[in-house]
């Protein structure tokens, strides 16, 4: 088993919350995005600013999951 396979197996044994923290920590160690060819980042930033300006436009996670049938 490669080191990556061992780490992946270990990570998958963590709780959802622990995996989320690990994923966040790992993502923060990567270099920032240097380009945005499809303008997805700009759209995400626009939506984030919109939500900051008017939090009532958001939806609770549980409500979104329910709408998606999960």
* The token pair that represents 46 in the structure block: 């626009």
Residues 6+ apart with CB under 8 A from 27: none
C-alpha span between 69 and 23 (Å, rounded): 25
- pLDDT, position 41: 81
* The token pair that represents 53 in the structure block: 């300006």
Ordered alpha helix ranges (H), the chain:
3-12, 16-28, 40-53, 61-67
Domain ranges of the chain: 1-30, 37-70
**Total-model pTM:** 0.46
Q: Could you tell me the mean pLDDT of each successive run of 10 residues in the chain, 70 residues long?
A: 95 94 90 71 88 90 88
- pLDDT, position 30: 83
């Amino acid at each position: 088993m490669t080191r990556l396979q061992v780490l992946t197996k270990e990570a998958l044994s963590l709780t959802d919350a622990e995996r989320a923290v690990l994923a966040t920590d790992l993502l923060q160690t990567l270099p920032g995005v240097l380009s945005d060819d499809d303008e997805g980042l700009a759209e995400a930033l626009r939506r984030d600013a919109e939500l900051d300006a008017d939090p009532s436009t958001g939806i609770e996670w549980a409500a979104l999951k329910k709408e998606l049938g999960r």
